Structure 1
Amino acid sequence: MSFNIALSGINASQKDLDTTANNISNVKTTGFKQSRAEFADVYASSIFNAGNTKVGDGVLTSSVAQQFSQGTLEFTDNSLDMAISGNGFFATTDGLGSRDLTYTRSGAFKLNDDKFIVDNQGNYLQGYQVDRNSGATTSTSLATTQPIRIPDVAGAPQSTNNIYTAFNVDARLTPIDGTATPFDPNTATTYHSSTSATVYDSLGESHVLSTYYVKRGQNDWDVYATFDGQEIDLAPTGSGSASATNSVNGFSGLNVQFLGNGEPDLPAGQTTFDPGTLDLAGAGPSGPYLDNGADPQTIQFNFQDQTGTTTPTQFASDFEVTTLDQDGTTVGRLTNVDIGKDGLIAATYSNGDVQYLGQVSVVRFANEQGLTQIGGTKWRQSIDSGEPLAGEANSGTFGAIEASALENSNVNLTKELVDLITAQRNFQANSRSLEVNNTINQAILQIR
């Protein structure tokens, strides 16, 4: 019996040594969680045994339990590197259509040749679908997650349909007589101020739309326009008025008027000037406005910002453009990827377009130690772990996602080296026990 007891102690010490050695070997493995060998005594008895004299039958390994404490974060230069600060796992699959989910704390992600976010083994990072413009999550169910893809272009171009502008014109300026000195975009003395905006046609080609502001009376201004240097009519809509005089080349503009307090002079119930329109289907003095095969285009010129809260003014201060936006885009190239603490991924493109591409799913379990290790710093759910619970990062009990960071192994090297010495001493002690038992048996066998 004593041989078996000593042998069980040797086996337990060997298991402890193996566990410690495995921890030490993974001290630099991203997302690795250390294990701890846990032991229990062996005690077998029955109602016919004298329990108060029973010694015990040795030791056995009851579990090699993983310890899911937080590892330290190491910040990197890769925007796709991610670490979870708190509870949770990343979810991955081995194929685009696969639902065989595995879970990991290792966030060393990159793009594959199809622009999907993958780990070092090519497994696809799963995320929730979101609205491309607002980033609103449509579902946080694990069943609806999909691989996250980051396209390097921002889709088809969008022609400009609207320009939004608000400005202040200087009330102190001297009016210019439009009859004696008609507007000429090539002569700076025929207008007071100007500004330009970049607009796009249906092919995504950029063009320059310039507007010119000419004071005609005390509170009276004309607004003229050119497209790529060619004059174009800025025609009024609704109750708007055309300029009292045309340009030197015969093109008309819009007339806007202000009140004595510098605010727009408008009909009752109206908040800003009626917009103007620019028809690019025709031809200017130097040829067609659009001669590259793009679709005919009409641009509406709005005297307000996109929310309608900022409008033109005429104060005694320098000319200033307070709003100048347009709703067209060209084909954009990927310039930056941002990942929020909630896992929301936003891609920025060279055309200024920002698209939300997905939200990284975070999964937790009722019993993390019940997860089944499968290698590659990955786990699968098991009966002991319970069902995976999906949610949004940085909410409730789910940890926050740190972008451009990796979670280091939670192995404490100093502690593991001490444990290694302890396991070695235990192994030696049990070996000594076995040796003493052998000596005693030899002594018995030698009795004559």
Structure 2
Amino acid sequence: MPFNIALSGIRAASSDLDVTGNNIANASTTGFKSSRVEFGDIYAGSILGSTANTPGSGVSLQNIRQQFSQGNRNFTDNSLDLAINGTGFFVTSNGGDRQYTRAGAFGLDDDGFMVSNVGARLQGFAADEDGNINGTLSDLQVDVSVQPPRQTTLSEARFNLDSNQPVLESTGTEFTTDGAVIGIAQQGLQEATSTTTDVGNITTPINFAANPTTFQLELTGSSPVSGNGTVNITLDASTANSVQDIANLINSEIFGAPSPINVQAVANGSQLLFQDLTEGVSSTITVSGVTGTNDLSTALTGAPASVAGIAEVTNGYLAQTLEFEGPDGDVFNFTSERDASAAQTASEMNALAGITASAQTNARIIAGSFDNSNNNFTLNGVTLTSTTLDGLANEINGLGTSQLAGISAEVNSTGDLEITSRVGADLRFGFGGSQPPGTLDVIGRTGTGIQTVNTNTEDVVVGGNLTVQMEEGYSLLSAEPSVGNLFSPLTDDSFSEVAINAFDPADQGTFNHSTTSTVYDSLGNPHTLEQYFVRQPYDPNDPSTSPNHWMMYVQVDGQNVGDPDPTLPVPENTQPTMASFNVHFNSDGSLNEDLTDPILISNWTPNNDDGSAAGALGPLNVLQGGQLPVTEPPSSSNFEISLDGTTQFGSNFGVERQDQNGYTTGRLSGVDIADDGIIFARFTNGEAQVLGQVALANFNNIEGLKPVGDTSWVQTADSGEPVVGAPGSAQLGIINSGALEESNVDLSTQLVNLIIAQRNFQASSKTIETANQVTQTIINLR
């Protein structure tokens, strides 16, 4: 009997050593739970029962109890390392076998599933595209592929518009040049000539001291008027050895006279000329009262009549005086300069208070008439070498910011070359150089005559037209002469109302507030959404106006996105217009949603930076059926703008909120897991997406779980059914991401247990040794 008792003790001590050794071996195992051995004594019994003095029969192993106390947390840099703070187990699936563990060292496999070190897949609740968590337990997967783009279908913004902002736009009056000469192609000399008298050839030398010459030289009809008059010429004191000497002597007399005239003597070899110093004036030079017998006197006596000067070709515009009246009753005049370009006149008028002028010049080279085979065609003095109208258009446009600033050209549908000066400079056509000229036909204003350029000495000039705007309160009283070649007689029909300082996205002085944000097309390309706010006028006596009224204008990438206007002529009736929306506020500054327009951007064609189509979804305008709400998934580029919460208070403009639901393509940059187990995937496009939620399980009797290795347990009948839920719910703990739960083994305690187990083993062995000696003693009795 003692042998069996001792053997049971040895077996119990051995089990104790096994459990203690296992605990010590797993002191560094993540999520390991230590165990302890629980023993019970053994008493032999019979049918007749036993007495109180019955000795025991040894010891038995009753249970190896697992200790599920919380282990310490070890923080790491891996967001997929998870530790449970509190009760519960991670749920894994290993080949379909449901297991439970506290070891949260997870990673991603090649399919993006979250797996343990042995490949068991972590279980949780998946999320849909909108991040909504469902209640079905499944394998958790992090999609490591490229996140597809999402098109913007809603842009949400909340602003404060400054109620103290002034109304920038007003109503003025506009009129244009409509005189008979406006835009007419004028043909004439490239360079002006001077009035000239050809005296003829003079033989030198001439001794004027021995044979003097006197005569009178008269100039009439020249400019300036002060240069007209008569001078007496006396040559009696020198010898002229050349015609140039004669010219010098005469000029000394002219310019030394008490009242000089605007004439100069010029030597051309042996020929003597008198010329008016002012070019282009049809003046008269007269020689009279000649005395003397020398060769000069003879030539002067027979001098022919002068040949009048000819002006170079101009736009043909004459001076005209306009009389304006300002809002305070002050009257002021403006006089245009003769032959001035429309650009010059507009510039001078813009210096006037309350007056704004713009100018433009248009001319056309007729298809089939252009011949520039000698490459000497000139436009505004710049030589152009192209021999075709297409090539000429490219050449002109290439110089549009330098030598031909502000000038552009385009071949129209009939093959004519349309040339435009956007600033109203004169357009001068000609041929230059020593090579023979080509030819071309030029027309200015439509319906006027064609001029042909085919010499090296003559040009054709086309002048521009003016548009004059007068601010509110200004008026034009009269024009002098009333029938000028700039303005025809002005009547009420000559004037039209026009918006002054009307909204222009390129002019910051025409809008009160502006802001930009980013939207995305269906391919994920970013685009700039521009919103402009313009305060609208309010007149209590005008029922068509209302207080606290603003207009919001919208562009995308600087292009119009408003629906086409079918009332416009072709092709404008199919082109985008400026998108504008009424925005109204209540007297307390809150948004008046009843009067504010629904804001649908329904005519946006996404383009690349170079203006070419991006290939993304195109618009569906209202005429084609576009409407709110925008359908999901989108079938067009349409998107809504929400101004909910926008205010109009007496403070500076501010952007209080700006968001939209689109994004570009993104790659996974990281994964975050919250305390409640929600898994957030972060992408390189700045987006975060909910991928799912880690599930935890608990049991009524966790000590009834069966360990299966790899720090995992499986359900048994003793454990009961698992209660699965979200971390932090019911009695389940929360999750710490970037941390691991260490083993709960206390090495100090286990080493003490090891000594005790060793002592127990040795003592039981001693019991066998003693029982053996007693047995031997009994055997040895005779």
TM-score range, shorter chain: 0.7 to 0.9
1:377 Cα deviation after fit:
0.4
5+ residue gaps in structure 2? 171-498, 539-547, 566-575, 620-636
Q: 1:128 aligns with which of 125, 128, 144?
A: 125
Q: 1:299 aligns with which of 635, 638, 641?
A: 638
1:71 Cα deviation after fit:
1.6
2:779 alignment counterpart: 445
* Secondary structure class of the residue paired with 1:52: coil
> Would you say 1:421 and 2:418 are equivalent positions?
no
Q: Residues 405-436 of structure 1, C-alpha deviation per residue, up to 9 Å, x if partnerless? A: 22111111111111111111111211222222
1:20 alignment counterpart: 20
> Would you say 1:253 and 2:584 are equivalent positions?
no
2:419 alignment counterpart: none
Distance 1:278 1:193, change over 3 A: farther
Distance 1:303 1:402, change over 3 A: closer
1:201 Cα deviation after fit:
0.8
State how 1:149-188 maps to structure 2 within 5 Å: 149-153=141-145, 155-177=147-169, 179-188=499-508
2:81 alignment counterpart: 81
Q: 2:104 aligns with which of 104, 107, 131?
A: 107
* Secondary structure class of the residue paired with 1:330: coil
Q: Work out the CA distance in 2 between the residues paired with 1:149 and 1:52.
A: 66
2:720 alignment counterpart: 386
Give the % identical residues: 43
5+ residue gaps in structure 1? 238-248
Distance 1:78 1:236, change over 3 A: farther
2:555 alignment counterpart: 226
CA contact (8 A) 2:665 2:685 kept: yes
> Would you say 1:196 and 2:507 are equivalent positions?
no
2:629 alignment counterpart: none
CA contact (8 A) 1:127 1:147 kept: yes
1:159 Cα deviation after fit:
1.7
Q: Work out the CA distance in 1 between the residues paired with 2:771 and 2:638.
A: 99
Opposite residue 281 of structure 1, the aligned amino acid is T
Q: Work out the CA distance in 2 between the residues paired with 1:29 and 1:346.
A: 28
TM-score, normalised to structure 2, is 0.50
Deviates more, 1:362-371 or 1:419-428: 362-371
CA contact (8 A) 2:85 2:735 kept: yes
Distance 1:201 1:410, change over 3 A: same
Distance 1:334 1:321, change over 3 A: same
1:271 Cα deviation after fit:
6.6
Equivalent residue pairs, number: 418
1:277 alignment counterpart: 601
Q: Work out the CA distance in 2 between the residues paired with 1:59 and 1:261.
A: 88
Q: Work out the CA distance in 1 between the residues paired with 2:165 and 2:595.
A: 25
2:67 alignment counterpart: 67
TM-score, normalised to structure 1, is 0.84
Opposite residue 194 of structure 1, the aligned amino acid is S
Q: Work out the CA distance in 2 between the residues paired with 1:148 and 1:423.
A: 45
Q: Work out the CA distance in 2 between the residues paired with 1:117 and 1:40.
A: 44
Distance 1:271 1:372, change over 3 A: farther
Opposite residue 559 of structure 2, the aligned amino acid is E
- Ranked by relative contact order (alpha carbons within 8 Å, sequence separation 6 or more), the top structure is 1
Q: Work out the CA distance in 1 between the residues paired with 2:549 and 2:595.
A: 18
Q: Work out the CA distance in 2 between the residues paired with 1:232 and 1:154.
A: 33
* Secondary structure class of the residue paired with 2:770: helix
> Would you say 1:373 and 2:707 are equivalent positions?
yes
1:250 Cα deviation after fit:
7.8
CA contact (8 A) 2:554 2:560 kept: yes
CA contact (8 A) 2:583 2:595 kept: no
Q: Residues 184-213 of structure 1, C-alpha deviation per residue, up to 9 Å, x if partnerless? A: 433333333221111111111111111222
Q: Work out the CA distance in 1 between the residues paired with 2:689 and 2:579.
A: 39
* Secondary structure class of the residue paired with 2:766: helix
Q: 2:673 aligns with which of 314, 322, 339?
A: 339
Distance 1:368 1:192, change over 3 A: same
Q: Residues 83-120 of structure 1, C-alpha deviation per residue, up to 9 Å, x if partnerless? A: 2222221111124xx2x211111111111111110000
Opposite residue 158 of structure 1, the aligned amino acid is R
CA contact (8 A) 1:236 1:277 kept: no
Q: Work out the CA distance in 2 between the residues paired with 1:412 and 1:173.
A: 74
Deviates more, 1:339-348 or 1:194-203: 339-348
Question: What CA RMSD, in Å, does the superposition of the two structures yield over aligned residues?
Answer: 2.9
